[in-house]
Amino acid sequence: MKKVSLTALFLIFIFSLLFGCQSKENISIETTVNPSTESGNDIKLSIDSDFKSVIISKPKGFNEITFDDKESLKALQNIFSSAIKEPGVVDMVDPEFYLEVIYGKEG
């Protein structure tokens, strides 16, 4: 009986340890746009033409991801066009990723 209770206690300890060490990173594909327009300086980013593709990569070109399907490009275009310049000073640090936007040829 004592051996069974010790084994059960050990298993509970191991499961709680494994459960506590799980990654808390939650990746969501939903797009939310900041509806807050409290700023008086609503300067929006203007986009002249449609995107051909968008490339996102880490510094030095590692883990490059290219978005070229219409649905992803439309979502990214909506995100960029709804961006509003916020007042204040930004402390610049080295970027965590690079974003390259390639536009389609006009004409």
Could you report the per-residue pLDDT of 37-71, keeping only the tens digit for each? 454 556 666 665 667 888 899 887 778 999 888 88
- SS3 percent helix, strand, coil of the chain, rounded to 5, is 30, 15, 50
Mean residue pLDDT of the chain comes to 75
- The alpha carbon of 30 is separated from its chain's Cα centroid by a whole number of angstroms, namely 10
pLDDT of residue 39: 47
- Highest mean pLDDT pick, 19-28, 45-54, 78-87: 78-87
pLDDT of residue 27: 47
Q: Cβ(50)–Cβ(77) under 8 Å?
A: yes
Whole-prediction pTM: 0.50
Q: How many domains does the chain fold into? A: 1
Domain span at residue 56?
A: 42-87+94-107
- The alpha carbon of 81 is separated from its chain's Cα centroid by a whole number of angstroms, namely 17
Residue 15, in any domain of the structure? no
Residue 32, in any domain of the structure? no
User: At 98, which helix (H) or strand (E)?
Assistant: strand 98-103
Residue 105, in any domain of the structure? yes
Q: Is 52 helix (H, G, I), strand (E, B) or coil?
A: strand
Residue 107, in any domain of the structure? yes
Mean pLDDT, rounded, for 78-101: 83
Question: By C-alpha distance, which of 48, 83, 56, 51 is closest to 70?
Answer: 51
Mean pLDDT, rounded, for 98-105: 83
pLDDT of residue 86: 77
Residue 100, in any domain of the structure? yes
CA distances from residue 68 to 24, 44, 53, 98, 101 in whole angstroms, order as listed: 29, 24, 5, 16, 10
Rounded to whole angstroms, how far apart are CA atoms 56 and 100? 6
Rg (CA), the chain: 23
